[in-house]
Amino acid sequence: MIKPFKKPIYVARPFLPNLDDFSEGLKEIWDNHWLTNKGPIVQRFGQELSNYFETDNVCLFTNGTLALQIGLQGMGIAGEVITTPFTFVATTHSLFWNKIRPVFVDIEPDFYTLDPEKVEAAITPWTTAILAVHVFGYPCKVNVLADIARRHNLKLIYDAAHAFGVRVGNKPIGLFGDMSMFSFHATKLYHSIEGGMLTFQDSGIKSIFDYLKNFGFESEVEVVMPGTNAKMNEMQALMGSMVLEHVNEIIEKRRQITAIYREKLEAVSGIYLRPELPKDIGYNYAYMPVEVDEKEFGMSRDQFYEKLKEYNIYSRRYFYPLVCDFACYKSVAIKDPLTVARKAGERILTLPIYYDLALDDVQRICDIIIAIGSKQANHQSSELAAKV
């Protein structure tokens, strides 16, 4: 039997820069005595991200959820928005906080992103926008969705929380649609401890986002709108700036991890991997989702998830339950049977993937999965033999 890992292997672990470098960076904050409210490091960081995303239209926030919430508010989105149930709850919560009705439609089976045909079928006179998610960093069908949005005069908004570093046709993913939200949470491949960012097409809207994240202040004595507090602080920006220097090596390491998983798990009966992405996509290897077929693998996804824990491996069932099945969204009327999303939600498991995960450990995780699978297969065939 393969031994369990001595230390827990989590689904994600934040990349941390060299501690001495970070301490050096902290000295600037100490010297400045400036911790938040448009500090110099936040401003510098904004410029670095602007360069990385090839646009001046970036706005930083304290986290991704507030970025999306404020983005929707600033763009005046109301009524109904067509969205996916196969996502983290924050996507839908940001609609709820804006009193927008979510209209859940199904996803496509290869990469779990919104199915454009289902989107088009769900448009009503009250629809104002499409809120699509580049889930696991897999880009949505950006050109088809853009065409639908244009023909129906809808805003196209992306929850790009998982998509830092992704490119489509050599264009940064944040340049697609009217607005995109990125999360810089610690569990993401790129992070600033907590943090979020909007990229957007209309440069005129930047000042609205700036007001909304800072109480609506125009000056010491003028408040122009009822904003909230969603500012990024200097510590976050320092971390974000330092992690940005390493983002290419982070993505490269994740590519290597993914390659091992793919090579070793491809032939495992009952474990299904995503197809190869189209050649024009520069992927970020944000997550490592696999689907478990209970009959073929010999145990359900949930049994497999529990079994891995016995080996000190903590995978996650992102995204199960579907958002529409959480108690707070149960009352939302849904016309679409969500067949693909339901199947994905019941079968999916995301395996550990992070910069510090040793390639030998990835091999071992795969060996454990293979051993679990074949043990089940042997168990099933001896049960069958006993019945004959």
User: What is the DSSP secondary-structure string of 71-140?
Assistant: HHHHTT--SEEEE-SSS-HHHHHHHHTTTPEEEE--B-TTT--B-HHHHHHT--TTEEEEEEE-GGGPPP
Rounded Cα distance between 83 and 140, Å, is: 12
Rounded Cα distance between 114 and 92, Å, is: 14
Which one, of 135, 251, 149, lies nearest residue 183 by Cα? 135
Rounded Cα distance between 241 and 271, Å, is: 38
Rounded Cα distance between 140 and 160, Å, is: 10
Rounded Cα distance between 302 and 314, Å, is: 12
Interaction pattern, residues 278-307, with ligand T4K; x per rule: CB under 6 A: ------------------------------
User: Are 104 and 83 in contact, with CB atoms under 8 Å apart?
Assistant: yes
- Of these, 69, 83, 84, 91, which contacts ligand T4K (CB under 6 A)? 91
DSSP reduced 3-state for 60: strand
Does 65 bind ligand T4K (CB under 6 A)? Our answer is yes
- Of these, 57, 63, 180, 236, which contacts ligand T4K (CB under 6 A)? 63
Which one, of 221, 237, 232, 226, lies nearest residue 74 by Cα? 226
Does 235 bind ligand T4K (CB under 6 A)? Our answer is no
Helices (H), 135-246: 142-151, 206-213, 234-244
Nearer Cβ to ligand T4K (187/203): 187
Rounded to a whole number of angstroms, the minimum distance from the CB of residue 316 to ligand T4K is 6
User: Are 138 and 111 in contact, with CB atoms under 8 Å apart?
Assistant: yes
Nearer Cβ to ligand T4K (196/298): 196
User: Are 234 and 35 in contact, with CB atoms under 8 Å apart?
Assistant: yes
Candidate ranges 39-47, 59-67, 72-80, 116-124; the one touching ligand T4K (CB under 6 A) = 59-67
Rounded to a whole number of angstroms, the minimum distance from the CB of residue 13 to ligand T4K is 4
**Restricting to residues 318-357, which ones interact with ligand T4K according to CB under 6 A?**
318
**What Rg do the C-alpha atoms of the chain give, in angstroms?**
22
Does 250 bind ligand T4K (CB under 6 A)? Our answer is no
Rounded to a whole number of angstroms, the minimum distance from the CB of residue 359 to ligand T4K is 19
Interaction pattern, residues 132-161, with ligand T4K; x per rule: CB under 6 A: -x-------------------------x-x
Does 92 bind ligand T4K (CB under 6 A)? Our answer is no
Does 187 bind ligand T4K (CB under 6 A)? Our answer is yes
Nearer Cβ to ligand T4K (13/141): 13
Candidate ranges 82-90, 207-215, 220-228, 299-307; the one touching ligand T4K (CB under 6 A) = 82-90
Nearer Cβ to ligand T4K (114/268): 114
Which residue's Cβ has the minimum distance to ligand T4K? 64
Does 177 bind ligand T4K (CB under 6 A)? Our answer is no
Q: Which residues form the interface with ligand T4K (CB under 6 A)?
A: 10-14, 63-65, 87-88, 90-91, 133, 159, 161-162, 183, 185-187, 196, 314, 316, 318
